[in-house]
């Protein structure tokens, strides 16, 4: 018996197989059924990647895909992501980006790739809007520590439950079945199906040596039957038989492509500007600056979203509309940071109380320039008078009495602070300025009480000076 006869497998049992030797076929059958050798029915394959589920989807199939991946009820993910969307926007951000970057279980191409190649459909636009709205809600909730803490804790609880559910469904490895699966020969596979049309790398030269066909596409195979650049410019090729004879093939004109629908990006931009101006104008006189800007930008974003949806149905959505939607959403999120005390009217006002009784507890100025003159006030010795000035946007100048001790507390979100004794008159604009000090009366002044002065400016300048007499 030759070595080939020893090596050739026969119809009988394999050499070395006996009652005590595990067979490879049962383990392979079990592996083909569940994807893991020896895995029981219903167990989650630990090597399977996360994919969106098309059959049980409600929007993008993200929650149903997570439920299948971690062997949980999809309602748990849907309720949790809905709560996270309302409390901080984290749910919308996660769902939108998962919708964009995770493909379906029966596809290998995600929505981002479709978006970058210009194939924009309703699913891609919905995923982008989910992510944009989630980012806007998240930025508006950055100052709310309680809501963000709740969202983080809920996210960690959901992640822990998913991890426990996945580990619970993972079977313990069977060393005998694993060894049998490793020793089993690879399964035979069917030969690849030939393409309907020859590709650029397949059979460019026929048997007699002549060059036939094109070298293929330079960017993106729209159709393998299309002419290549060499054929389009009419490059001469040399025949491989007999004499040197150049054969020139004239370029063949491609059939004209049908004209697609006209883009509506310009009209969308125009209507968005009109909506922004209308929304801002209707609330300019009655609402603060931040609320008025939010109203106008929200109207513009709604018009842009409607335009993107209409253009998606028409089959023509330009990248400019997407960029415009992103910029508008960013401006809308930034407008939420504008303080509510900043008004839309720029006013010039002044206050000049003549006695302690006429001093108000709070002086409020939304936007403009104000002057508080306290030079005529005489604070009795041993008494303390307090007042506060709040300015959203603008400049405030306070003149304190000459003989009073002033305990000063100044906060400027963005701007400049000028107090007696600085020795400079230039404006130094910086964010987050703060100053707390005590101004003693000059030598020779009479005895007087104490004035507590609290100045708060959102953006602008706060100046304090002492009366000359």
Cα–Cα distance for residue pair 302/128, rounded to 1 Å: 14
What pLDDT score does 347 carry?
82
d(CA 299, CA 320): 18
Q: Give the Cα separation of 297 and 292 in Å (integer).
A: 9
Q: Report how far Cα 176 is from the mean position of its chain's Cα atoms.
A: 48
Cα–Cα distance measured from residue 421 to residue 442, given in angstroms and rounded to the nearest whole number? 12
Element (H, E) at 135: helix 122-140
Distance CA 48, CA 69 (A): 8
User: In the predicted model, what is the mean pLDDT of residues 220-240?
Assistant: 45
Cβ contacts of 200 within 8 Å, gap of 6 or more: 214, 215, 216, 217, 224, 228
Q: How confident is the model at residue 21 (pLDDT cuts 50, 70, 90)?
A: very low
**Of 4-13, 84-93, 312-321, minimum mean pLDDT range:** 4-13
Say what the pLDDT of residue 197 is: 43
Cβ count near 395 (within 10 Å): 18
How far is Cα 201 from Cα 180, in angstroms, rounded to an integer? 40
Residue 181: its H or E element: helix 175-183
pLDDT in tens, 37-51: 444 444 455 556 888
Q: Name which residue leads in pLDDT, 33 or 128.
A: 128
Nearest CA to 326 out of 310, 304, 306 is that of 304
> Are 443 and 376 spatial neighbours (Cβ–Cβ below 8 Å)?
no
Exposed/middle/buried for residue 15 (C-beta within 10 Å: 0-12, 13-18, 19+) = exposed
User: What integer is the mean pLDDT of 97-120?
Assistant: 83
Look at residue 112 and tell me whether its pLDDT is greater than 70.
yes
The better pLDDT of the pair 14, 293 is held by: 293
As a three-state string, the secondary structure of 202-220 is: CCCECCCCCECCCCCCCCC
Per-residue pLDDT band for 274 (boundaries 50, 70, 90) equals very high
More confident residue, 34 or 325: 325
Using only C-alpha atoms, the chain has a radius of gyration, in whole angstroms, of 38
- Pick the closest to residue 339 from 366, 362, 361 (CA basis): 366
* End-to-end C-alpha distance for the chain, whole angstroms: 126
Q: Which band of pLDDT confidence, cut at 50, 70 and 90, is reported for residue 397?
A: very high
Nearest to 30 by CA among 136, 231, 202, 180: 180
Q: Would you state the pLDDT for residue 447?
A: 80
Stronger pLDDT, 316 or 438, i.e. the higher one: 438
**Which of 64-68, 176-180, 322-326 comes out lowest in average pLDDT?**
176-180
Mean pLDDT of the chain: 74
Which has more pLDDT, 3 or 257? 257
């Amino acid at each position: 018996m030759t070595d080939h006869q020893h090596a050739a497998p026969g119809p009988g049992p394999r050499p070395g197989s006996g009652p005590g030797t595990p067979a490879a076929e049962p383990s392979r059958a079990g592996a083909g059924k569940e994807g893991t050798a020896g895995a029981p029915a219903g167990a989650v394959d630990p090597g399977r990647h996360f994919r969106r589920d098309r059959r049980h989807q409600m929007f993008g199939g993200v929650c149903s895909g997570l439920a299948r991946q971690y062997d949980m009820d999809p309602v748990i993910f849907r309720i949790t992501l809905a709560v996270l969307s309302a409390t901080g926007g984290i749910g919308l951000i996660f769902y939108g980006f998962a919708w964009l970057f995770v493909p379906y279980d029966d596809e290998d191409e995600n929505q981002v790739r479709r978006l970058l190649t210009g194939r924009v459909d309703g699913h891609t636009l919905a995923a982008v809007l989910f992510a944009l709205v989630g980012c806007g809600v998240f930025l508006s909730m950055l100052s709310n520590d309680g809501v963000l803490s709740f969202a983080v804790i809920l996210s960690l609880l959901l992640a822990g439950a998913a991890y426990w559910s996945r580990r619970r469904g993972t079977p313990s490895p069977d060393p005998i079945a694993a060894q049998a699966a490793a020793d089993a020969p690879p399964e035979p596979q069917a030969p690849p199906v030939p393409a309907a049309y020859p590709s650029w790398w397949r059979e460019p030269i026929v048997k007699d040596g002549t060059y036939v066909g094109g070298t293929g596409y330079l960017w993106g195979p729209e159709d393998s039957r299309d002419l290549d650049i060499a054929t389009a410019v009419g490059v001469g090729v040399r025949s491989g038989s007999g004499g040197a004879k150049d054969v020139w093939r004239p370029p063949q004109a491609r059939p004209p492509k049908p004209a697609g629908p006209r883009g509506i990006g310009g009209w969308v931009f125009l209507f968005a500007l009109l909506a922004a101006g209308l929304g801002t104008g209707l609330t300019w006189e009655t609402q603060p600056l931040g609320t008025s800007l939010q109203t106008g930008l929200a109207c513009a974003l709604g018009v842009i979203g409607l335009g993107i949806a209409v253009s998606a149905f028409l089959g023509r959505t330009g990248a400019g509309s997407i960029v415009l939607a992103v910029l508008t959403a960013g401006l809308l999120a930034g407008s939420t940071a504008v303080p509510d005390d900043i008004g839309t009217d720029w006013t010039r006002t002044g206050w000049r109380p003549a006695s302690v009784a006429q001093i108000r507890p709070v002086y409020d100025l939304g936007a403009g320039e104000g002057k508080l003159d306290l030079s005529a006030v005489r604070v009795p010795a041993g008494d303390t008078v307090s007042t506060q000035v709040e300015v959203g946007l603008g400049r405030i100048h306070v003149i304190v009495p000459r003989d009073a001790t002033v305990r000063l507390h100044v906060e400027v979100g963005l701007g400049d602070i000028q107090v007696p004794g600085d020795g400079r008159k230039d404006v130094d604009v910086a964010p987050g300025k703060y100053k707390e000090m005590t101004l003693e009366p000059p030598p020779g002044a009479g005895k007087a009480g104490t004035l507590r002065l609290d100045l708060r400016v959102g953006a602008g300048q706060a100046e304090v000076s002492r009366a000359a007499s």
